[in-house]
Structure 1
Amino acid sequence: MPRHPKHIMLAIVLAGLPGLAGASDELMDLSLEELADIQVLSVSRKAQRLSDTAAAVTVLTSEDIRRSGARSVPEALRLVPGVQVAQVGAGRWAVSVRGFNSRFATKLLVQVDGRSVYSPMFSGVFWNALNLMMEDVERIEVVRGPGASLWGANAVNGVINIVTRKAAATTGTLVRASIDDRGNPELAVRQGAELAGGAAFRVYAQSINRAPFETEGGATSRDEQSGWRSGFRLDSDSSGTDRWMLSGDVYRQRSPEVLSMGALGAIYVPLDFEGAHLLVERSWVTSMGESTLRGYVDYADMASDAFAHATVYSADLDFQHRLPVLGAHEWIWGLGLRHQSVSADSATPVFAFGQSEVRMQTFSAFAQDEVELVARRLRLTVGARLEARNTTTPKFQPTVRLMWTPSDRDSIWTHWSRAARTPSYGDLHASAVVGTQAYPPFPLVTVISQANAELEPESLTAIELGYRRQFDRGSAEAVLFRHRYSHLIGSTFGGVRMPGVLPTVPDMRLQRVNGGSAVTEGLELSAEMAVTRGLKLGAAYTLMRTCYESTGDAVFDAGNAGVADRNADHWFSLTARADLPGRQALDAQIRHVGALSGQPAPGVDAYTVLDLRYGRRIGRHAELSLSVTNALDERYTAYRSDIFPSDYAYDRRRVVLTGRWTF
């Protein structure tokens, strides 16, 4: 592509700015009071104002998500400081908070309406199976830093809580149709209605049809995404003191990828995902306080007929009770019980499972007290969670938070926390071929990552200092953090075996053990400002370093260096949302990510991406939008897949035309 279109793209952004004085009637600027009243649930398991939270929190509203043009949750998360989002391929993502980025980030808890989608299979989230209907997302709350004292093991580096809209907010009919520049169409339909007694329901269905990425040489990477998802939600009348909600989803999706096995060649793996869940929640208020009981069952299946098959069944019951305020104290406590069954089998020596079926039971209990030391100025929060699982030793996970609000506009907080990450089924029982290499005197050996059923939980001790300032038309936040990890799982040399998986090639075993220690330190800055009635600007910047302590084990230390090299040391984003005359809107987002050092050739260089979205309302019931991703360059690569090794995939410039109609 010639260089001059870059200037054209920038001119489009700048051209819209002079006409902002005539912005549309949908005001983009919020008052100080409106900004301070944004509600957050994820920090204290209760609704509280964002300005009152003693944690590094970002809330993406439904308007933020719509104006970003995001078609998936990871795309929306690119707006959040401290969150590293790298697209591995079409539908494949590496998403983490405060380091340790991975295809399946093991230290990040992700929930949808309180239902955990963190898989015990490989510890992490199968993002390509989480294709939510984005119009139904009310907000995404991102808590950076440990949340284990309330949410349990695996809420180590952060918690992402996706909150969907109540059924009463989605009555009527919505139809969304889109097509990209490669001719891939998608369709979504939603129908909602009010019922007798103030209840409401909605049902929806949507298709998934995403084009494949490209290889370094320009050929297709053969990882196109196709499938469908359907679900419902039923809510009682929300005006009473006794409320309930019932929701469910079912999905099926094909997400193929090509595994790169070194000298063994490339292996095409047609992965099929399917799943379903049913969630019920009831909350009620009495003279003894507010109580919530939530339960869900979940089924998830991942299959490749010629290679392997894994199924996870989950059942979870969670109760919490918030007592009435007693003097300066506000108590909340709860109990949890979770049962998970994981079964797996392999049809190829590339994968091997030490136990074909494992049942995991987890019991948990937590308590937290918020103490107002000085009225409206100084508040102390002390809490802890005890979690016991039948596969590992029990873990006690405490936290202490102190928040000082010297004025109605300023908040300063600090906290100390401990958290644990429990080993996954894959860590404990799955062995896998991860490639081949020369190993003298052998010209070639097969490298196998070996399971270890004796692994113990990884541990984190974290400290954080933050400052938040509210302005008349915006806010700013600065956070310093230091995370110290111990008992990290890594691999050490486990010997050479003959004959190996391939009889003519010996095996070199890498044994997983708890032996690593590391420190991550960083600075997170963010700001948002409504400059005029029709122009809103935002910025986010993260600076971070990861440092492993040397163990003296060359194999172990090399593996740790590989983990550290998967994380950029800085990244930032700039956003502009402009309302234009004639019910038009222009949105721009610039993202810059530093290089990933030490990656295999050709590597991941630093890259800067400009995303644009133009929208226009047509009457009261229709909207058209045109989104351009990666407007400045032909293509780039952001990550090389780990866990399931594959070659670099390159994202080309993409154009998507979307129409939404409501009736």
Structure 2
Amino acid sequence: MQPALPVPRVVVLRPVPTVLAIGVLLCCRQVLAQPVVPLSENDFLSDMPIVLSVSRLAQRQDETPGAVTILDRDMIRRSGARDVADLLRLVPGFRVSNSFESVAPQVGYHGIFGRYSNRVELLIDGRSAYSPYFIGSVAPGLQTVALQDIERMEVLRGSNSAAYGARAFLGVINIVTRHTADTLGGEGSLTTGQNGIHDAQARIGWSAGPGSIRLSADRRADDGLEGAYVSNSVSRVNLRADWYTAAGHELQLRLGALNLDSGRGQKSYPSDPLRPFRFDSAYAQLDYKVVLSSDEDLAFKLSRSQEHYREEFPVSLLSYGINDVYMVRGNGEAQSDAVSLQYTQRHSETLRSVVGGEYRSERIVSAPLYNTSAPFDTDFLRLFGNLEWRLAPDWLLNAGALAENSSVTGNTLAPRLMLNWHLAPGHTVRAGVSKAFRPPSSYEKFADVRYIVNGIPPLKNTLSTGQAEPETLLAKELGYLGDFPDWRLGLDVRLFQERFDKLIYIQTKPSPSDYRNDAAFDLRGLEYQLKLQPWQGGQVVFGQTYIDNTYATGRENLTHASTATSKRTSSLALFQQLPGQWNLTLLHTDNSPVKLVADRPQPQRRTDLRLAKALRWGAQRGELALVVQNLGSAYADFKRDYLFQQQAYITLRLEN
């Protein structure tokens, strides 16, 4: 029984969804076919997105030191998703679970190695939002803000420890919320449907002197996966305020609170019974930016996050040969404080740099998990920098590194070198290498979970001996980003080799469980995303990742790498404007068999449909949308007995 918390190539699409997708595409083409206005290369270049999070410098997407997928506000709304994690199905290489078994729906890039999403960094308006209590998981953080408050998401596919440290081991999810000046007035929405779906959201924004403020609140509720705990609810409130001065100073304040009421366990499993849990978190963030001149600025950030977790349930000790019942508790709390300073400068027309530092302190208190009421404190000191050097008009070099000192694991260094070549207008080739690290979390280093029954020696469930060392990753990649105006097509390709060493895993036998390091193994593969505008009002987005994991060595590695990594993931999205202010969305994902938690490999296929009608009454706007998720048969999610069934719901949204 696991402790209460944390416990530790060719496109292949299935026939029915593929036929449906092709049929819709052909129908839309016949009904809506109109002359397509040719686009020039300048049209595409002028629309090149600016990415904020990869190197800590604002850069065009074709000049970043890595592959980036951008999900904008329009795509987020038209996806029909109710959850931020669910959106990441559209990003090549990502796997998504809708289960609350690990406290909240989670995501993973190139395989979820373990029960928690702790090898991808999550930034929300620049604030690191991973959970210290849940072994660094980003799952609770993904629930922090409502979809309606998000302007866009930048997802770096690949390691970025060189900019953000240990949590960016395999990538970065950067959520950028909407500016308060863009959300003046009010908005509200209601959603109801099958599987107990009942959502409500409200937002109000107003001007305040030289700035503006937004207050939003929402609640999402459903009955979850078939076979899992039958009640999930997510409630949150967020406030953002922006102020500006004529002197070029910018001040931003963000406050928020989150509540998760859900449950864990399995039916007919006495050692893992269905039971509820409650997770609460809150944060405060202050950003202050000073524009020193047209070529330099200084940014200061201060934040605090708090977490509280409550879970208690009785469990039989018969498996230990004891005819008794023990009350298992997973109660605990965590707190994170962070302060950072960042200086950006343009030295010349060909040279820019960013340097800075961050101090972060984390505290965890949980007697059930560590067998002591004393706090576990970890302090991090990070120094980072990135140099962008235009060697020639068509050649750009990004060189960066981050040095980190941890009070628990000592010093680590993560460098990166990336070269971008604009071989022709709208066509860029990228090549580089980076090194990443992830030290063991407090739980992986100091876990001490034991059951103490009167008159019986302690039964040790998990006892970390502290032998786990920091994981390392050496990543090499070759990328291409291209625009083809004549075909109205964009293409993003990434070839990669990722060499993992000392990957941390939980060794369950012999008892008690302990965290250890694996030997080295490689993942090699190809991922790409294609965006096409084949006709008026239509957009097709197709992404696929193929991973060859046969380079793993050693029995444990073969077990972890070959089954935790899906060899092929595919996603297809059609966004179509229809006459009469209607719009249609069709989403399909198809993942090759992958090992779920403690189960044999299972395939995952899902097709979603959304049909929406825009509404308008004078200055009032709105939308009525019908969403059907999983048009096909149920599939296993997280565990073999947890099934994602078909569900439909209707959303009414109004704003002024």
Category of TM-score, reference length = shorter chain = 0.7 to 0.9
Q: CA deviation at 1:475?
A: 0.9
Q: CA deviation at 1:408?
A: 1.6
Q: Which residue of 1 aligns with 2:528?
A: 525
Conserved in 2, the CA contact under 8 Å of 1:313 and 1:342?
Answer: yes
Tell me the alpha carbon deviations over residues 20-75 of structure 1, each in whole angstroms, 9 at most, x when there is no partner.
2479xxxx999743674212111121222112223111111011111111111111
Alignment of 1:200-279 (within 5 A): 200-215=212-227, 221-237=228-244, 241-258=248-265, 265-279=271-285
Q: Secondary structure at the match of 2:366?
A: strand
Conserved in 2, the CA contact under 8 Å of 1:372 and 1:378?
Answer: yes
Matching residue within 376, 383, 400 for 2:417: 400
1:622 to 2:622 alignment: yes
Conserved in 1, the CA contact under 8 Å of 2:51 and 2:61?
Answer: yes
Q: CA deviation at 1:418?
A: 0.8
Tell me the alpha carbon deviations over residues 329-372 of structure 1, each in whole angstroms, 9 at most, x when there is no partner.
212100100011111122xxxx5546742011110111221111
Q: CA deviation at 1:265?
A: 3.0
Q: d(CA) in 2 for partners of 1:390 and 1:259?
A: 39
Conserved in 2, the CA contact under 8 Å of 1:128 and 1:255?
Answer: no
Q: d(CA) in 1 for partners of 2:41 and 2:331?
A: 50
Q: Which residue of 1 aligns with 2:291?
A: 285
Conserved in 1, the CA contact under 8 Å of 2:395 and 2:421?
Answer: yes
Q: CA deviation at 1:297?
A: 0.7
Q: CA deviation at 1:171?
A: 0.7
Matching residue within 54, 67, 90 for 1:56: 67
Q: Check 1:559–1:316 CA distance in 2 against 1; reply closer, same or farther (3 A cut).
A: same
Conserved in 2, the CA contact under 8 Å of 1:58 and 1:141?
Answer: yes
Alignment of 1:115-514 (within 5 A): 115-121=127-133, 122-127=135-140, 130-197=143-210, 199-215=211-227, 221-237=228-244, 241-258=248-265, 265-287=271-293, 289-306=296-313, 307-326=329-348, 328-346=350-368, 353=371, 356-375=374-393, 377-431=394-448, 448-472=461-485, 473-491=488-506, 508-514=511-517
Q: Check 1:261–1:340 CA distance in 2 against 1; reply closer, same or farther (3 A cut).
A: farther
Conserved in 2, the CA contact under 8 Å of 1:39 and 1:50?
Answer: yes
**5+ residue gaps in structure 1?**
216-220, 435-445, 496-507, 552-556, 641-646
Tell me the alpha carbon deviations over residues 231-255 of structure 1, each in whole angstroms, 9 at most, x when there is no partner.
1100113887221111111122212
Amino acid at match of 2:257: V
Q: CA deviation at 1:152?
A: 1.1
Q: Secondary structure at the match of 2:32?
A: helix
Q: d(CA) in 2 for partners of 1:184 and 1:494?
A: 41
Tell me the alpha carbon deviations over residues 507-549 of structure 1, each in whole angstroms, 9 at most, x when there is no partner.
x234322343221111001110112221111100000133575
Q: Which residue of 1 aligns with 2:644?
A: 651
Amino acid at match of 2:534: V
Conserved in 1, the CA contact under 8 Å of 2:50 and 2:59?
Answer: yes
Matching residue within 560, 563, 566 for 1:568: 566
Alignment of 1:34-53 (within 5 A): 36-53=47-64
Q: CA deviation at 1:290?
A: 1.2
Q: Check 1:433–1:7 CA distance in 2 against 1; reply closer, same or farther (3 A cut).
A: farther
Amino acid at match of 2:579: P
Amino acid at match of 1:280: L
Q: CA deviation at 1:102?
A: 3.7
Q: CA deviation at 1:427?
A: 0.4
Q: Secondary structure at the match of 1:332?
A: strand
Tell me the alpha carbon deviations over residues 199-234 of structure 1, each in whole angstroms, 9 at most, x when there is no partner.
11110111121222112xxxxx22421242111100
Matching residue within 539, 542, 546 for 2:542: 539
Conserved in 2, the CA contact under 8 Å of 1:100 and 1:563?
Answer: no
Q: Secondary structure at the match of 1:18?
A: helix
Tell me the alpha carbon deviations over residues 373-393 of structure 1, each in whole angstroms, 9 at most, x when there is no partner.
112x01111111110010112
Q: Secondary structure at the match of 1:394?
A: strand
Conserved in 1, the CA contact under 8 Å of 2:371 and 2:450?
Answer: no
Q: Check 1:182–1:123 CA distance in 2 against 1; reply closer, same or farther (3 A cut).
A: closer
* TM-score with structure 1 setting the length: 0.86
Q: d(CA) in 2 for partners of 1:68 and 1:203?
A: 24
CA RMSD in angstroms, aligned pairs only: 3.0
User: What is the total number of aligned residue pairs between the two structures?
Assistant: 610
Q: Which residue of 1 aligns with 2:107?
A: 95
Q: Check 1:583–1:469 CA distance in 2 against 1; reply closer, same or farther (3 A cut).
A: same
Q: Which residue of 2 aligns with 1:612?
A: 609
Q: d(CA) in 2 for partners of 1:390 and 1:309?
A: 25
Q: d(CA) in 2 for partners of 1:9 and 1:523?
A: 24
Amino acid at match of 1:106: N
Amino acid at match of 2:635: Y
Amino acid at match of 1:486: D
Q: d(CA) in 2 for partners of 1:92 and 1:153?
A: 22
Moved more, 140-149 or 305-314: 305-314
The structure whose RCO (Cα within 8 Å, separation 6+) is larger is 1
Q: d(CA) in 2 for partners of 1:134 and 1:36?
A: 24
Q: d(CA) in 2 for partners of 1:35 and 1:537?
A: 21
Q: Check 1:428–1:638 CA distance in 2 against 1; reply closer, same or farther (3 A cut).
A: same
Conserved in 2, the CA contact under 8 Å of 1:22 and 1:581?
Answer: no
Q: d(CA) in 2 for partners of 1:636 and 1:299?
A: 35
Q: d(CA) in 1 for partners of 2:426 and 2:142?
A: 41
Tell me the alpha carbon deviations over residues 286-311 of structure 1, each in whole angstroms, 9 at most, x when there is no partner.
13711111111111111114412121
Moved more, 96-105 or 519-528: 96-105
Q: Secondary structure at the match of 1:427?
A: helix
Q: d(CA) in 1 for partners of 2:460 and 2:267?
A: 13
Q: CA deviation at 1:493?
A: 7.7
Q: Check 1:538–1:529 CA distance in 2 against 1; reply closer, same or farther (3 A cut).
A: same
Q: Check 1:289–1:624 CA distance in 2 against 1; reply closer, same or farther (3 A cut).
A: same
Percent identical residues: 23
Q: CA deviation at 1:88?
A: 3.2
Q: Check 1:337–1:419 CA distance in 2 against 1; reply closer, same or farther (3 A cut).
A: same
Q: d(CA) in 1 for partners of 2:42 and 2:31?
A: 23
Q: Check 1:550–1:469 CA distance in 2 against 1; reply closer, same or farther (3 A cut).
A: closer
Q: Check 1:579–1:29 CA distance in 2 against 1; reply closer, same or farther (3 A cut).
A: farther
Q: d(CA) in 1 for partners of 2:359 and 2:217?
A: 32
Q: CA deviation at 1:636?
A: 1.2
Amino acid at match of 1:489: I
Q: Secondary structure at the match of 1:460?
A: strand
Conserved in 1, the CA contact under 8 Å of 2:523 and 2:552?
Answer: no
Amino acid at match of 1:574: L
Q: Secondary structure at the match of 2:444?
A: helix
Q: Secondary structure at the match of 2:44?
A: helix
Q: d(CA) in 2 for partners of 1:527 and 1:313?
A: 41
Amino acid at match of 1:456: E
Q: Secondary structure at the match of 1:99?
A: coil
Amino acid at match of 1:528: K
Tell me the alpha carbon deviations over residues 139-183 of structure 1, each in whole angstroms, 9 at most, x when there is no partner.
110001111111111211101111101100111100010001244
Q: Check 1:587–1:515 CA distance in 2 against 1; reply closer, same or farther (3 A cut).
A: closer
Q: Which residue of 2 aligns with 1:595?
A: 593
Amino acid at match of 1:362: F
* TM-score with structure 2 setting the length: 0.86
Q: Check 1:79–1:64 CA distance in 2 against 1; reply closer, same or farther (3 A cut).
A: same
Q: d(CA) in 2 for partners of 1:457 and 1:355?
A: 26
Amino acid at match of 1:196: G
Tell me the alpha carbon deviations over residues 430-473 of structure 1, each in whole angstroms, 9 at most, x when there is no partner.
24589xxxxxxxxxxx9944313343211111111001101223
Q: d(CA) in 1 for partners of 2:629 and 2:604?
A: 13
**5+ residue gaps in structure 2?**
1-14, 314-328, 452-458
